[in-house]
Amino acid sequence: MSQSLDAKLLLERFDISPEDLALLKRCGETFSLSDKIQSVVDEFFEWLGEQPEFSIFFNSQETVERVKRLQKVYWEEFFSGVVDQNYIDHRVRIGEIHAQRDVPNLTYFAAMAHFNKLYSDAIISCEFSHDDTSRAFTVFDKLRLLDMLVTSDQIAQFARRRVIESGKAMLEMSTPVTSIWDGILLLPLVGIVDSQRTQDIMEKSLSRIAETRAHMFVMDISGVVTVDTAVANNFIRITQATRLMGCDCIISGISPSVARTLVELGVNVGEVRTTATLRDALQLALASIESTERGGRRRAQGDALPR
Amino acid sequence: MGDGRLVITRLNQSMVATFEGAIDAGELGDLVNSLFEAQARQNVDSVVFEVSACEVMDLDEFAELQRTVRAVEWLGLRCVVAGLRPGMVAYIVSSGVELGTLRTALDLELALEELTVNCDE
Asked whether residue A149 falls in the same domain as residue A188, the answer is no
Asked whether residue A149 falls in the same domain as residue A186, the answer is no
Helix (H, G, I), strand (E, B) or coil at B22: coil
Asked whether residue A255 falls in the same domain as residue A190, the answer is yes
Which residues of chain B neighbour A243 with C-beta distances below 8 Å? 99, 104
Q: What CATH number did the domain enclosing A60 receive?
A: 1.10.490.10
Asked whether residue A161 falls in the same domain as residue A142, the answer is yes
Q: Does A240 touch chain B (CB under 8 A)?
A: yes
Asked whether residue A189 falls in the same domain as residue A146, the answer is no
**ipTM score for this prediction:** 0.72
Asked whether residue A48 falls in the same domain as residue A197, the answer is no
Q: What is the DSSP string of A225-280?
A: S---HHHHHHHHHHHHHHHHTT-EEEEE---HHHHHHHHHHT---TT-EE-SSHHH
Domain of A290? 178-304
Instruction: For residue A198, give the chain B residue with the closest CA.
Output: B94
Asked whether residue A98 falls in the same domain as residue A187, the answer is no
Q: What CATH number did the domain enclosing A241 receive?
A: 3.30.750.24
> How far apart are alpha carbons A95 and B16 in whole angstroms?
65
Residue A248 bridge partners (DSSP): A216
Q: Does A199 touch chain B (CB under 8 A)?
A: yes
Asked whether residue A143 falls in the same domain as residue A183, the answer is no
| Domains, in order of start, for chain B | 5-120 (3.30.750.24)
Residue finishing a domain among A169, A193, A215: A169
- CA A275, A276, A282, A284 dihedral sign is negative
Q: What is the pLDDT of residues B43-85, one digit of tens each?
A: 788 999 999 988 888 888 898 888 888 888 887 888 999 999 9
Q: What is the pLDDT of residues A224-280, one digit of tens each?
A: 877 777 788 888 888 889 999 999 999 998 877 777 777 777 766 666 788 888 998
Please list the ranges in chain A whose pLDDT falls under 70.
Answer: 1-4, 172, 267-271, 294-307
State how beta strands A273-274 and A216-224 pair: unpaired
Q: Does B86 touch chain A (CB under 8 A)?
A: yes
Tell me which DSSP letter residue A3 carries.
G
> For chain A, first and last CA: distance in Å?
77
Asked whether residue A127 falls in the same domain as residue A271, the answer is no
Asked whether residue A221 falls in the same domain as residue A126, the answer is no
Write down the pLDDT at residue A211. 92
Asked whether residue A110 falls in the same domain as residue A233, the answer is no
Number of structural domains, chain A? 2
pTM exceeds 0.80, yes or no: no
